[in-house]
Amino acid sequence: MTGTFVGMPAFPTAARAALGDTQLRHNMAHATGVIRGKRAAVVGEVEAWEDLRLSGAAVKETALRDLDVQLETLEASLVAGGAIVHWARDAEEACRIVADVAKSHGVDEVVKVKSMATAEIGLNEALQAEGIAAWETDLAELIVQLAGDLPSHILVPAIHRNRAEVREIFLREMAAVGRPAPADLTDEPAVLAGAARAHLREKFLRAKVGVSGANFAVAETGTLVVVESEGNGRMCLTLPEVLVSVVGIEKVVPTYADLDPLLRLLPRSSTGERMNPYTSTWSGVTPGDGPQEVHVVLLDNGRTNALADDVGRQALRCIRCSACLNVCPVYERTGGHAYGSVYPGPIGAILNPLLKGTGVDAQTDSLPYASSLCGACFEVCPVRIDIPEVLVHLRAKVVDGHRDDRRPKAEAVAMKGAAYVLSDHRRLARVERLSGLGGRVLTRFGKKRLPGGRAAAGALPGPGASAWSGARDLPAPPRESFRAWWARTRGPGSEGPSTTKEGDR
Ligand code: SF4
């Protein structure tokens, strides 16, 4: 069974451990580099790509603006099509609904289409606790599940594994849960896919209940859409007698025509394909064709909190393409596990705090800082989510959330000290004289040199300051400040140029 992110340390600790894993860094650099290249090539073919991004963003923004109305329309359309609609406030409610449906049909297993919403709510673990096995049928999800591993990418959850590792996992684990891998299994991708296909086919043909998410839900027609590349989704959506789809409430789009820009943006941004291989759509129950009992669980789980955040709500436009992960220099080096969530990378750094709230736990509060704010994520996002803007906004919320703490934070103390010094030029001059003295000491004894031969100050004292200086080359203060130089070269009595006049205050 897949592991869990519960109890993961804050990002800096997890990232430090991940950075020490050279195999992981090699796998990540190779995989993200390949996907980046594919995406850039197919996006470059579309002349009006920017217009398409604007259209995609507008569709999602329109839906979010009157989400309550759209959801009621969606519910009415689904019910009219023969589906049973459930509303789930949180993960626990959603898992309970799916488990109850499965139990009402007396099954001890379900087959699953890859779904971020069900991963977010920990559905597999919840079903396992009820004695129901949830079989992942997406190839990468299958690898993660067989290995008892954690997903590290939205689209390619096993991106941290190379094919030799996948072969080992198949040989070691498949037999325990179904058809074993052939003894002569090689690490050729086609051979590995063949072993997975044979292993899964038994499960597809046996399963009475299928579980999916949905990429989009059309309010006007009650149409759910699943976009996938392997055909496993099509099998899960059509073979079982019962289908349960867990759909985040932000997946709604008003009209069928609104799918047009989104279905053009998604494959080019995610897999680097011009068109998606399998796009399945269904609207409730069709007598004699496909599942004859269709449940749709509309999931909140923090989405209305995110919607109430004026800056952060744009994260609900996300179509889970994972382009932002593939271009992120931080994600490429740390991998996805360091983010402690099924949503890693830049989108995870904003979505997790928005769904869970800031100030809830240190791990979530650390995520908005898991970025260099380089802006590459915004450049590639097909629905123009300004991730750096949301990161900065969330950092402010994290800081604000700690203002009432009794114990003053090192950063707050440092800022107060800086404000005291900088508000009076005489104080500033005194501090400059002192730092010049420190600079002379460091220049004399310091071993580390910056480009140009200037001495580096080394680590600052104290836990907060040493963490800051440990990741930066901090130049030693100059031996002589600008004021001192001015006074020396312009004659005695000169105090140097004053930038603050009484009248300016
Ligand atoms: S934030 Fe944008 S780029 Fe990242 S996964 Fe979502 S839609 Fe894709």
CA–CA distance, 212 with 359 (Å, rounded to integer): 32
In the prediction, which pLDDT does 474 show? 72
Q: All domains of the chain, ordered by start, with CATH? A: 11-305 (3.40.50.10420), 411-504 (no CATH)
Q: pTM for the whole thing?
A: 0.85
Cβ-count burial 211-231 (b if 16+ within 10 Å, e if not): bbbbbbbbbbbbbbbbbbbbe
* CB of 320 shorter than 6 A to ligand 1: yes
Q: Which protein residue has the closest C-alpha to ligand 1 atom 8? A: 321
**Amino acid in the structure at residue 22:** T
The model's confidence at residue 503, banded by pLDDT at 50, 70 and 90, is very low
pLDDT, tens digit, for every residue of 178-193?
Answer: 999 999 999 999 999 9
pLDDT band at residue 502, thresholds of 50, 70 and 90? very low
Work out which ligand 1 atom sits closest to the CA atom of 270: 8
* In 250-344, alpha helices (H): 259-270, 303-307, 323-327, 329-334
Q: Are strands 278-282 and 252-253 parallel, antiparallel or unpaired?
A: unpaired
Query: H or E segment at 151?
Result: none
Sheet strands side by side (includes 278-282): 252-253, 216-218, 223-228, 278-282
Lowest-confidence pick of 295-299, 382-386, 486-490:
486-490
- At residue 431, the pLDDT reads 86
Q: Is 385 in the pocket of ligand 1 (CB under 6 A)?
A: yes
Distance (Å, whole) CA 121 – CA 356: 12
For residue range 21-76, list pLDDT tens digits in order: 999 899 999 999 999 999 999 999 999 999 999 999 999 999 999 999 999 999 99
- pLDDT digit string, tens, across residues 414-428: 888 999 999 998 898
317 CA from centroid of ligand 1 (Å): 8
- Ligand 1 pocket: which of 383, 384, 386 to mutate (most atoms <8 Å of CB)? 383
Show Cβ contacts of residue 487 under 8 Å, excluding neighbours closer than 6 positions: 493, 494, 495, 496
Taking residues 226-252, report their average pLDDT. 97
pLDDT 10s digits, 273-304 = 999 999 999 999 999 999 999 999 999 999 99
Is the minimum distance from the CB of 383 to ligand 1 under 6 angstroms? yes
| Residue having the nearest C-alpha atom to atom 2 of ligand 1 | 381
Higher local confidence (pLDDT), 465 or 119:
119
Number of H helices, E strands in the chain: 23, 10
Residue 277 has a CB neighbour count (10 Å cut-off) of 13
Can you tell me the distance from the alpha carbon of 380 to that of 128, in angstroms, rounded to the nearest whole number?
Answer: 38
Amino acid found at 102: A
Confidence of residue 505 (pLDDT cuts 50, 70, 90): very low
Return the residue whose CA atom lies nearest to atom 4 of ligand 1.
Answer: 324
pLDDT above 60 (res 446): no
Band the pLDDT of 464: cuts 50, 70, 90: low
Q: Which residue has the higher pLDDT, 408 or 358?
A: 358
Give residue-wise pLDDT tens across range 185-215.
999 999 999 999 999 999 999 999 999 999 9
Query: Is any atom of ligand 1 closer than 6 Å to the C-beta of 321?
Result: yes
Identify the CA nearest to 36 among candidates 381, 271, 229.
Answer: 271
Which residue reads 């919320």 in tokens? 397
Atom of ligand 1 nearest to the CA of 322: 5
- Ordered strands of the 133-136 beta sheet: 84-88, 293-299, 242-248, 209-212, 109-112, 133-136
